[in-house]
Amino acid sequence: MKILLTGFEPFADVEVNPSQQVVEALSQQSIAGIHIVHAILPVEYELAGNQIRQLIYAHEPDAVLMLGVARKRDVITLERVAINVDDAETPDNTGSVRSGHPIIWHTSPIAYLSTLPIIPMMERLKEKDFPAKISNHAGTFVCNHIFYLASHEYDRMNAYVPCGFIHLPPASENYTLEMMIDAIRVCVELLREIDV
C-alpha cells in the first residue's frame, strides 16, 4: 500500500511545526505493508495547492493523509470537512492574506467530506490511549486549502481514494512529539488494515 503523507513547514509564530517532524520521523520508519511517500509543503496557498495535486498525479497513492498544526487545540483532531474558502487573518509565508476567497470558482462544491475512516481512527487512537476527537472544521487557512484541493482532484477524477486531514496540537508535556508520531503511525496502520 502506498500512502502519501504530508506536513507543513514553519509559519508565522510556529517556529517548529510538529506536522513536519511527524512526517519526517515516520518516513524513516519501516511499517509492514506500507510505502510512505512523504512531502513537506510550503505554507503558501498557491504553491501548496499546486504541490498536493502534483504529488497525487505523480505517485497515484492508495491513500492521502495530510497533517498540520492547530495552535489552539490540545489533542489530535480528525477533520471531517473541507470547505471551499480561504479566509484567515494569518498571512501565508508569502505574506498573502485571504478574506472570503473561494479556493475554486464557478460550480465547485461548497464542501467535501473526508474519505478517511475517521471514526475508526478516533476509536483506535483512544484504545491506544492517545487523546483524539473529530472536528467539523479544518479552518480556512492553508491546511483547509490543500484538504479541499486534494478532495476536489479525486472528485474530478471520479476516483475513490481515502483522503483527509488531521490536525496536531503543539507539542507539550501532555502531548509530546513522540506521542504524536506513535499516534499517526496508528492511523497509517489502520489504513493498511482497511485496504487489505
C-alpha to C-alpha distance for 7 and 22, rounded to whole angstroms: 8
Q: Categorise residue 129: left if φ over 0, alpha if ψ from -120 to 50, beta otherwise.
A: left
> CA torsion angle for 87, 78, 195, 28 (degrees, to 10)?
90
Helix, strand, or coil here: 25?
helix
Q: Which of 147, 164, 155, 135 is nearest to 83 (CA)?
A: 147
User: In the annotation, is 167 catalytic?
Assistant: yes
Identify whether the C-beta of residue 189 lies closer than 8 Å to the C-beta of residue 130.
Answer: no
Active-site entry in 143, 145, 163, 187: 143
Element (H, E) at 152: helix 142-157
Q: What DSSP element (H or E) covers 55?
A: helix 45-59
Question: Known catalytic residue: 44?
Answer: no
Q: Which of 145, 152, 167, 187 is catalytic?
A: 167
**Distance in angstroms (rounded) separating the CA atoms of residues 71 and 73:** 6
Catalytic pick among 79, 145, 163, 187: 79
Q: Is 153 a catalytic residue?
A: no
| Catalytically active residues, by annotation | 79, 143, 167
